[in-house]
């Protein structure tokens, strides 16, 4: 159950707030529609409920606000707009990445793909999906962690009639099993046809909160539904009779042999049909301009381009009444415990869905008006089996997510390959020109450049690690664009460190091999002081990667992350050199010796050598500047993280 209390957005300069003191409820086991024209405040209401926008008011999801939940995605499945994700990532890879973030088994991705009919498209890229397939994938993302509540912003926008039927059938099935469904729409007919309760917004204010039947009776036009094999001829006769009698009658030809007549009665239409000998198969009053029951046209001949999902939809429609969810889902009951501790029980069968494909209208005797009760039997969509989500160890969940995120697209591999090629060519050119120290030659680091290719590449990969989160926010459903969590930061720093270390070793190895092939053994020899040089080299590359991660996470941009990496040697290093060269500042030349004197003990296993190497790295201008920059970026990131938690 959702309880929204006093939702009010912040004022916009001299304009009134987009949402002003809106309160409503969405009960479990029912579909609630938030209805309003463009600009009425529907999306603002959802964003305030999900704590994605600043404002006043509070929303309880089964008695708890979202910020009190350890794992919101397990309680609330959210779809706002298109599916957020990198366009080059595959459908299956995207879902498996979200599985790692939510702490659910990877096989869950295949289960939801089968439910939404995207098994045949699991290797397609997100950027190639049609609007209908994107909606299907969006529903798969919301069902991934088996949430109790679904919150969707205009989910049927841009879909064909067939795709709308499928989507609303799936949402109806979720509600029929005890879940809560809240969706927004701007179409009154869609709200009356598919929802149990309609909450109407206008100008940011709540104007009505009604049952669907009351909404249809009071806010939609009554009409008479007519079915006849002579629809075109009968429509012409009705129009002619109304014009002769000076009556305002509107006749609308629906699909097939169906007519909708506004401004007349069943008695008048029956008299006209009898006088002209028109055969009538159906003649019924309908409360509300809701159109034909979608269940009566499940297999219409409407053109459709996605053949694989179309076949999956036919199979679901035919077998929806016979399938049963394995295991059940007691967590979707109104009195169940918290979503973070689900329990599995057997589930009651979904009743009355056998009537969805062969409803009353299909047999020509739908004389009763449509309503919420009859719509409840139109659920022919199957749902994935319930799962018991067991939290993985805290360090592993964000680490698995980050590994799947980094390996799911080819950006990192292309960047690493480009770095190796550029570094090898630069090393050959420097050797040909001469006058380059041997250590710099092995790292392909000319004096004219602020950083070597390996360090720039590591910084770029680190910036992409957080920059892609903001550009393609795959974690949008989990409280915000990118949740500021220390676990996520630690995972990104760890993966960036491993990537930078591998890049540093491979770059030097490739440079040595290329120099050996081109110039012989003399330029390919390893220096005698390789330990200190190696520590400096690895520290530089890993430090650049960390700077890229922290800056991109702090400034929410890949460009800002890479700019912070380049700023270290160009801006920070000269400042550090000026400070170090001052007469009142002691250098770190005797740091290892003084440290040993303070501790009064020998380091085991010759550890003083590694300490001395680390001290020399920090004592260098670049090392000191990088250390200073990383400390500042980490402090700023922690400050913003703690500040967001306090709010």
Q: Which of 63-72, 194-203, 255-264, 592-601 has the highest mean pLDDT?
A: 194-203
pLDDT greater than 70 at residue 345: no
Q: How confident is the model at residue 472 (pLDDT cuts 50, 70, 90)?
A: confident
156 and 228 in one domain?
A: no
104 and 241 in one domain?
A: no
pLDDT at position 403 is 92
Q: How confident is the model at residue 612 (pLDDT cuts 50, 70, 90)?
A: low
Nearest to 208 by CA among 221, 226, 222, 192: 192
Q: Radius of gyration (Cα) for the chain, nearest Å?
A: 32
For residues 243-271, average pLDDT:
88
274 and 203 in one domain?
A: no
234 and 100 in one domain?
A: no
pLDDT at position 365 is 34
What are residue 252's phi and psi, to 5 degrees? -120, 125
pLDDT greater than 80 at residue 610: no
Strand-pair partners of 284: 225
Q: How confident is the model at residue 45 (pLDDT cuts 50, 70, 90)?
A: very high
For the residues of 287-334, what is the DSSP string, one character each?
Answer: SSS--S-GGGGTT-----S-HHHHHHHHHHHHHTTT---SS--GGGST
Residue 62 lies in a domain: yes
Residue 429 lies in a domain: yes
Please tell me the distance from the alpha carbon of residue 80 to that of residue 347, in angstroms, as a whole number.
30
For residue 586, what are the contacts with CB-CB under 8 A and spacing of at least 6? none
Nearest to 156 by CA among 166, 144, 142: 166
554 and 433 in one domain?
A: yes
Domain that holds residue 236: 223-286
537 and 598 in one domain?
A: yes
Residue 489 lies in a domain: yes
For residues 344-368, average pLDDT:
33
What are residue 106's phi and psi, to 5 degrees? -65, -25
211 and 279 in one domain?
A: no
Residue 354 lies in a domain: no
Please tell me the distance from the alpha carbon of residue 215 to that of residue 199, in angstroms, as a whole number.
9
For the residues of 438-484, what is the DSSP string, one character each?
Answer: HHHHHTT--TTSSS-HHHHHHHHHHHHHHHHHHHS-TTTTTTSSS--
227 and 92 in one domain?
A: no
Residue 320 lies in a domain: no
CA atoms within 13 A on the CB side of 549: 27
Please tell me the distance from the alpha carbon of residue 281 to that of residue 79, in angstroms, as a whole number.
42
Residue 377 lies in a domain: no
Q: Which two tokens stand for residue 395?
A: 């360090």
pLDDT 10s digits, 529-549? 887 788 888 988 999 999 999
pLDDT 10s digits, 88-141? 999 999 999 988 888 888 889 998 998 888 989 999 999 999 888 988 898 898
More confident residue, 219 or 537: 537
Q: Which two tokens stand for residue 579?
A: 């400070």
| Entry pTM | 0.71
User: For a pLDDT cut of 90, what percent of the chain falls above it?
Assistant: 33
pLDDT greater than 90 at residue 528: no
Q: Which of 277-286, 414-423, 528-537, 620-629 has the highest mean pLDDT?
A: 414-423
pLDDT greater than 50 at residue 572: yes
Strand-pair partners of 152: 79, 183
pLDDT at position 507 is 95
pLDDT at position 273 is 92
Q: How confident is the model at residue 32 (pLDDT cuts 50, 70, 90)?
A: very high
264 and 118 in one domain?
A: no
Nearest to 486 by CA among 397, 557, 412, 405: 397
Number of domains in the chain: 3
Task: Among 192, 217, 242, identify where a domain stops.
Answer: 217
508 and 627 in one domain?
A: yes
206 and 244 in one domain?
A: no
Q: How confident is the model at residue 618 (pLDDT cuts 50, 70, 90)?
A: low
pLDDT at position 201 is 93
Task: Among 177, 201, 217, identify where a domain stops.
Answer: 217
pLDDT at position 318 is 37
We report the CATH number of the domain holding residue 93 as: 3.40.50.300
Residue 341 lies in a domain: no
Please tell me the distance from the alpha carbon of residue 588 to that of residue 302, in angstroms, as a whole number.
77
Residue 494 lies in a domain: yes
Q: Which of 217-226, 313-322, 556-565 has the highest mean pLDDT?
A: 556-565
For residue 123, what are the contacts with CB-CB under 8 A and spacing of at least 6? 90, 91, 92
pLDDT 10s digits, 424-457? 999 999 998 888 888 888 889 888 888 899 999 9
pLDDT at position 95 is 92
We report the CATH number of the domain holding residue 241 as: 3.30.70
123 and 161 in one domain?
A: yes
Task: Among 242, 269, 286, identify where a domain stops.
Answer: 286
User: For a pLDDT cut of 70, what percent of the chain falls above it?
Assistant: 74
């Amino acid at each position: 159950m959702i309880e929204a209390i006093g939702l009010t957005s912040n004022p916009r300069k001299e304009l009134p707030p987009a949402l002003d003191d809106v309160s409503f409820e969405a009960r479990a086991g029912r579909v609630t529609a938030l209805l309003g024209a463009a600009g009425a405040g529907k999306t603002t209401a959802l964003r305030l409920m999900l704590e994605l926008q600043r404002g006043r008011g509070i929303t309880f999801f089964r008695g708890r606000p979202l910020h009190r939940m350890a794992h919101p995605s397990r309680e609330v499945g959210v779809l706002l707009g298109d599916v957020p994700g990198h366009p080059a990532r595959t459908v299956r890879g995207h879902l498996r990445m979200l599985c790692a973030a939510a702490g659910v088994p990877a096989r869950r991705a295949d289960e939801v793909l089968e439910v939404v009919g995207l098994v045949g498209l699991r290797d397609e890229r997100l950027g190639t999906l049609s609007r209908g397939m994107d909606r299907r994938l969006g529903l798969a993302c919301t069902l991934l962690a088996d949430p109790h509540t679904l919150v969707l912003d205009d989910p049927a926008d841009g879909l064909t009639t067939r795709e709308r039927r499928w989507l609303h059938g799936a949402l109806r099935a979720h509600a029929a099993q005890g879940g809560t469904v809240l969706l927004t729409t701007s179409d009154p007919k869609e709200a009356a046809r598919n929802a149990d309760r309609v909450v109407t917004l206008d100008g940011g204010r709540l104007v009505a909160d009604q049952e669907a039947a009351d909404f249809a009776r009071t806010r939609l036009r009554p009409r008479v539904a007519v079915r006849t094999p002579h629809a075109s001829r009968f429509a012409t006769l009705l129009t002619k009779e109304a014009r002769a009698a000076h009556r305002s009658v509107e006749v609308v030809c629906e699909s097939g042999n169906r007519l909708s007549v506004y401004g007349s009665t069943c008695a008048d239409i029956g008299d006209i049909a009898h006088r002209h000998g028109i055969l009538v198969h159906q003649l019924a009053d309908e409360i509300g301009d809701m159109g034909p029951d979608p269940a009566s046209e499940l297999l219409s001949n409407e053109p459709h381009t996605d053949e694989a999902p179309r076949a999956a939809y036919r199979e679901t429609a035919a077998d929806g009444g016979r399938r049963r969810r394995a295991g059940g889902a007691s967590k979707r009951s109104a009195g169940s415990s918290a979503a973070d501790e689900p329990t599995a029980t057997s589930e009651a069968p979904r009743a009355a869905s056998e009537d969805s494909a062969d409803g009353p209208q299909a047999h020509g005797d739908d004389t009763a008006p449509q309503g919420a009760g009859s719509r409840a039997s139109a659920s022919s969509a199957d749902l994935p089996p319930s799962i018991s989500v067991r939290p993985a160890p805290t360090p592993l969940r964000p680490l698995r997510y980050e590994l799947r995120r980094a390996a799911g697209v080819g950006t990192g591999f292309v960047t690493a390959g480009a770095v190796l090629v550029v570094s090898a060519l630069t090393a050959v050119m420097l050797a040909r020109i001469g006058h380059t120290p041997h250590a710099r030659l092995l790292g392909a680091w000319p004096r004219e450049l602020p950083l070597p290719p390996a360090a720039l590449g590591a910084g770029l990969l680190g910036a992409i690690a957080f920059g892609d989160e903001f550009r393609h926010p795959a974690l949008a459903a989990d409280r915000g664009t990118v949740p500021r969590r220390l676990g996520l930061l630690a995972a990104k720093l760890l993966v960036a460190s491993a990537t930078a270390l591998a890049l540093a070793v491979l770059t030097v190895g490739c440079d040595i091999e290329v120099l050996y092939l081109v110039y012989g053994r003399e330029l390919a020899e390893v220096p005698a002081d390789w330990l200190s040089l190696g520590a400096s080299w690895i520290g530089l590359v890993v430090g650049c990667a960390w700077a890229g991660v922290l800056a991109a996470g702090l400034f929410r941009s890949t460009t800002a992350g890479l700019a912070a990496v380049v700023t270290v040697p160009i801006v920070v290093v000269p400042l550090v050199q000026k400070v170090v060269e001052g007469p009142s500042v002691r250098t770190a030349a005797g740091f290892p010796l003084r440290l040993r004197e303070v501790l009064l003990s020998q380091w085991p296993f010759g550890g003083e050598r590694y300490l001395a190497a680390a001290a020399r790295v920090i004592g260098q201008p670049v090392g000191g500047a990088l250390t200073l920059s990383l400390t500042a970026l980490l402090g700023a990131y922690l400050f913003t993280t703690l500040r967001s938690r306090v709010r």
